[in-house]
Amino acid sequence: MAAKLEDLHDNNDEDLKVIDVSHIKSLLFNMNLDKDETGDESTLVKRCSNDSEFLDLDNKSGIGEFGPWPLSSTASSSQAQAQPDFDYLFKLLLIGDSGVGKSSLLLRFTSDSFEDLSPTIGVDFKVKMVNIAGKKLKLAVWDTAGQERFRTLTSSYYRGAQGIIMVYDVTRRETFTNLSDIWAKEIDLYSTNQDCIKMLVGNKVDKESERAVTKKEGIDFAREYGCLFLECSAKTKVNVEQCFEELVLKILDTPSLLADASSGAKKNIFKQKAPEADAAASGCC
């Protein structure tokens, strides 16, 4: 289903057009779009103040950047001949309660900026190129919504992730408690990479006077669940880059995670299957 987007400056939900964007090349996701919840988990509602920014939503031929995605036959041929400009493509996932700072952490890492962001609706992601341990890496980092109403949607995004970052707010005790009550269980249920690397991150250490979770508690949890561990602040930038660097170094040191991540591997980490399919094929992490 594809519909032409009309002017939605007023953000009036009655004027929204629902479009199927599952076939669109990844460049679509680089646009500054907002996402809204819909009743159909296979679609996203997009708002944009300039219709000209959109790609041709009806183009469903050719091969895209990460797999069988829509491009013209000419573009398909040229991309098939092009050499990849990275050694590995890693899919990383940020999970945790709403409001712990997952989106701010991702924004700080990818853009070196900080904003007080509203809760993520559904799933968002950013891509960053990095050089670590002599390797040129393309990191696709997925930012998932923490609200319970989006769980069935976000569960499908665990598929194929080489690294999963569990984030909690050191000033909110319940976000730490929910790591074992909710998030660690979701990893066991939905992760498809048995050897995926898990990392525990305590965010907002800039609010030390409001701390409700000690560093020792974080260390003990990480030991129990086999996670890497760091505390950081997306606001002040403390340890943000180290979180991703340590995670990636551990992935690079895990041969079973590298085969599907090599630049020559033919896969599409942006095309997700229905949550039911993921549950059937899930393994523990």
What structural domains and CATH numbers belong to the chain? Answer: 13-81 (no CATH), 88-280 (3.40.50.300)
- Tell which residue, 185, 177, 240, 243, has the closest CA to residue 213: 177
Q: Which residues of the chain are modeled with pLDDT < 50? A: 1-76, 150, 266, 270, 272-285
Please give the pLDDT value at position 247.
Answer: 98
pLDDT at position 93 is 93
How far is residue 166 CA from its own chain's centroid?
12
Q: Which amino acid is at 279?
A: A
123-132 sheet: strands from edge to edge: 123-132, 135-144, 88-95, 163-169, 197-203, 228-231
Structure confidence at residue 246 (pLDDT) = 98
d(CA 71, CA 204): 42
Residue 152's pLDDT is 57
In whole angstroms, what is the distance from residue 125 CA to residue 148 CA? 19
User: What is the enclosing helix (H) or strand (E) of 169?
Assistant: strand 163-169
The pLDDT score that the predictor gives to residue 67 is 37
Structure tokens at 41: 């988990």
Cβ pair 250, 197 in contact under 8 A: yes
Q: Report, in angstroms and rounded to the nearest whole number, the Rg of the chain calculated over CA atoms.
A: 19
What is d(CA 18, CA 121) in angstroms, rounded to the nearest whole number? 15
Q: Model-level pTM?
A: 0.64
End-to-end CA distance of the chain: 36
State residue 213's pLDDT score. 98
